[in-house]
Amino acid sequence: MNFAQTCHPILSLPKRLILLFSGVVILISISGCATNNAPSPDVVANIFERDQAIQEAPFGGDVSSEIVNYTRVAPSVGIAGKLHGDGIVEAKELGFQLVIDLRNPSEDGVTEERTRASELSVPYVNIPLEKGPGAWSQVEAIEALLESSDNYPVLIHCASANRAGAVWALLRTRQGVSPITAIEEGRAAGMTSRESQVRSMLGLSPEGRVVK
């Protein structure tokens, strides 16, 4: 089952009401929504806490090359690039409870991945990442999904991990991490060319200084 939603309904709902059920595939295209990077008191704080009742994201050594540029950035969160071949099958076998795809629906393999996820009853969300300040809308939507431990572990991916790493950096600033530290975490997660966009959104100059 596919559901097409815009940013306004999903972002207006209480975050904890956004639930994903096994076998449901949701397509979310978010664009043009105004938001900002102000930290929220409801921001997930427990993604670095280890809970025996919750399965953790695998470490890189346990993930094959079918899941490109995989990095475990937190006990409950994995970042990656494209899921080649049966990468979505591997994601399910590794225990991921939610796959968040940051690619545009027109990109190669997105339709196939969404279809395969539906066949495998893997909860899948497509949240295309914008360039520029509009990306805060997507970050906020992802943050809402991360608030439910029912979705753990979560795999956030794009084509190369560049966009996924950028999202991770932006998410971390909303959790109170300094912009410079968030940039380093984003790099470690795979952010490359999107760094200039993230720096601009965080009020940093290209050299890393805070723009006043």
**Residue 80, SS3 per DSSP:** strand
Phi, psi of 30 (to 5 degrees): -115, 125
- Render pLDDT for 81-111 as a digit per residue (tens, 0 to 9): 999 988 999 999 999 999 999 999 999 999 9
The pTM score is 0.80
Contact 94, 63 (CB under 8 A): yes
Amino acid at 181: T
- Render pLDDT for 13-60 as a digit per residue (tens, 0 to 9): 343 333 333 344 434 433 333 334 555 544 445 677 788 888 999 999
* pLDDT value of residue 49: 78
* pLDDT value of residue 102: 98
Distance of CA 89 to the CA centre of its chain: 19
